[in-house]
A and B are shown apart, each in its own frame.
Chain A
Amino acid sequence: MKSTPYNLIMSALYNGKKGSRPPAASVTSIVCHDLMDASGVSFPEAHVNSEAMAELALAGHEIIGFDTVMPEYSVHQEAAALGCDVDWGSRDQMPDSRNAPYADFSDVIIPENILEKPSMRVVLDAISKLRRHVGGRVAIIGKVMGPWTLSYHMAGTQNLLLQVGLGEKDKVVKMLRQLMPVTIAFAKAQFQAGADIVVLADHATGNLVGSYHYKDYLLAIHQEITSQIEGPLILHVCGNCLDRIELFADAGFDGYNFEWQVDSKVAVAKVGHRICLVGNVNNAQTLLQGTPDDVRKQVRYAVEAGVNIIAPECAIPLTTPIENLKALVAAVHEGY
Chain B
Amino acid sequence: MTGTLEQIKQAVISGKHKEIETLVQTAVDEKVDLSSIINTALIDGMDVVGQQFASGEIFVPEMLIAALTMQKGLAVIKPLLKGKDSKSKGTVLIGTVKGDLHDIGKNLVSMMLEGAGFQVVDLGVNLGVEQLVDKVTEIKPDILGLSTLLTTTMPEMQKVISVMRQRGLRSSVKIMVGGAPVDAHFAEKIGADGYAKDAAGAVQLARKLVSGN
A→B interface (CB under 8 Å): 89, 92-94, 96-97, 157-158, 161-162, 164-166, 207-210, 213, 238-239, 243, 283-285, 288-289, 314-319
Min distance, Cβ A214 to any Cβ of chain B, angstroms = 10
Residues in A whose Cβ lies below 8 Å from that of B59? 207-210, 213
CA of A243 to CA of B55, assembled, Å: 13
Which of B1-9, B31-39, B178-186 lines the interface with chain A?
A: B178-186
Contact among B61, B62, B151, B183 for A316, CB-based, below 8 A: B151
Stretch from B19-27, B40-48, B96-104, B200-208 that touches the partner: B96-104
Could you list some 5 contacts between A and B, CB below 8 A? A93-B99, A158-B103, A158-B104, A210-B56, A238-B180
By a CB distance below 8 angstroms, the chain B residues around A319 are 155
CA of A289 to CA of B189, assembled, Å = 10
* Residue in A239, A315, A318 with the greatest tally of chain B CB atoms within 10 Å: A318
B140 to chain A, nearest CB (A): 29
B98 touches A93 (CB 8 A): yes
Residue of B nearest to A212 (CB): B59
Contacts A284-B186, A285-B183 known; 10 new A-B pairs at CB < 8 A:
A94-B99, A161-B60, A161-B61, A161-B104, A208-B104, A209-B59, A210-B59, A285-B186, A316-B152, A317-B181
Question: B106 to nearest A CB, angstroms?
Answer: 10
Shortest CB-to-CB span from A171 to chain B, Å, is 13
Bound Cα distance A272, B61 (Å): 31
With an 8 A cutoff between CB atoms, is B150 at the interface? Answer: yes
Chain B nearest CB, measured from A47 CB (Å) = 14
Give the interface of B toward A (CB within 8 A): 15, 56, 58-65, 68, 98-99, 101-104, 107, 126, 150-155, 180-183, 185-186, 189
Q: Would you call B155 and A317 a contact (CB within 8 A)? A: yes
Closest to A163 in B: B61
Query: For the complex, what is the distance from the CA of A89 to the CA of B103, rounded to whole Å?
Result: 18
Contact at A162–B107, with CB atoms within 8 Å? Answer: no
B80 → chain A, closest Cβ, in Å? 28
Question: A94 contacts B152, CB within 8 Å?
Answer: yes
B185 & A210 in contact (Cβ 8 Å cutoff): no
- The reply to whether A165 and B62 form a contact with Cβ atoms under 8 Å apart is yes
Chain A, residue nearest B155 (CB): A319
- Residues of B near A157 (CB, < 8 A) are 102, 104
Complex Cα–Cα for A166 and B18 (A): 11
How far is the CB of A253 from the nearest CB of chain B, in Å? 22
Q: Determine whether the beta carbon of B180 is less than 8 Å from that of A162.
A: no
- B104 surroundings in chain A (CB, below 8 A): 157-158, 161, 208
- How long is the Cα–Cα vector from A283 to B181 in the complex, in angstroms? 8
| CB pair A317 B154 closer than 8 Å | yes
**Given A283-B181, A284-B186; A318-B152 close (CB under 8 Å):** yes
Q: Give bound CA distance, A257 to B123, whole Å.
A: 34
CB B74 to nearest CB in A, in angstroms, measures: 18
Minimum distance in angstroms from B86 CB to a CB of chain A: 29
Beta-carbon contact of A207 and B152 below 8 Å: no
Chain B residue with the shortest CB-CB distance to A284? B181
Q: Cβ of A315 and Cβ of B151 under 8 Å apart?
A: yes
Q: Across the interface, do B102 and A289 meet the contact criterion of CB distance under 8 Å?
A: no
Q: Which residues of A sit under 8 angstroms from B182, Cβ to Cβ? A: 284
